[in-house]
Chain A
Amino acid sequence: MTQPPWRRERREHFPGVPAWSLATSRLAPEEFGVSRLEDVTREWAWGGDGAGEGGAGRADGAGVRVCVLDTGVDAAHPRVGGLERSLVVADGDDLTVVDCDPVDPVGHGTACAGVIRSIAPAVSLTSVRVLTDGRSGSGAALLAGLRWAVEEGFDLVNLSLSTTRSQYLPALHELADQAYFRRCLLVASAHNMPVVSFPWTFSSVISVASHDEPDPMTYYYNPAPPAEFLARGVRVPVAWRRGREIRSTGNSFAAPHITGICALILSRHPWMTPFQLKSVLYLAASNVVTSKGGAHVRA
């Protein structure tokens, strides 16, 4: 390998350039050099995928607190299975975060929360509504909601959204770093559009794009960032309004898969730091683990 993928020249953000996902069912992820930390396996990380019928022996996310920053979450939806708390960034100049009814006028946040619950059934979910009424959310509300979540000490924050407004870049950057050092890990969906947006492009967060395989626990490490991981994002069964379900495709639904998997890891290893967690995610990724004959592993 002459040049490692992370030294590769970045693609320009230009309209007409395909974005970040990879159809891994048709195209193998590229090979790259793997630095093994030998003892870390999927079994070690969360109990493994083959754990008994009904997931016995597998971690379930218990004791881990996740905040979903989105359009709100409908707590009554069977896929969501209840919320610890439901809040909204209030209109007005001071942008305070206040308690509200656990409803979701749009349905996007409910879909994301349902995916997290499907991976980590015992996780505690809290919703903060930062996107309202179908309008593209104001970056100010996103910033206020995220600040609240970081200060509140959640273990994980799911961000299936991003802002394109550069005026919020410095404040978001600082907040993402703050979150990292407070061991509040931000899991953000990569923007599948040829535009510049954040916080998913920050190195302090875990950024997720889609692969197109049906297994919810299959995910890949992407050695050519900024999208660091590829998780299930095609035809995902998700919650829809009024207790119903549809199948949906998009990076919005890939991120909550990784959030759920992080919750499993943290429930088994509660003292893990963000950089450890990211390393474990890497080591247990489907294209890094050696259990399948080490096809992707180069010494």
Chain B
Amino acid sequence: MREIHISNVSGVNLEALDEGLRALPGAPVVGISLRRGALIVHLAAEADEAQAAAIRSLVRGHDPQKPSAAQQARKTRDAQLKSAHDDALSARQAASDGATLTLAQQVALLTRRIDWLEKLLEALVKGEKTL
């Protein structure tokens, strides 16, 4: 196995950088490590100099603020859950305030609250949320 050491690295988004490196053509990347401020890229023994150069270039251009696909999906999921939660709270308030609601209106409010619970349960089952 080969290693590329890059010293004095700060602000690494490990998940995003790992994803980007593995997506390189030929992908000789076994993984990356952080040791006392240094970034180490682990490469398969057969990695050639062109691949090593592509890796160095990608690391130099790494933006830790840019999320990985999985991080972006989690962010979107969190936003959807928050929105559903806010909507459920608002539905609960509307139900308690509306003494003259029709049955259809009450069902609609209840459906909004169930929708949030469904989303929350799904996220818990997938491990995207913990209790």
- Do A and B truly interact? no
On B, residues with C-beta under 8 Å from A are: none
On A, residues with C-beta under 8 Å from B are: none
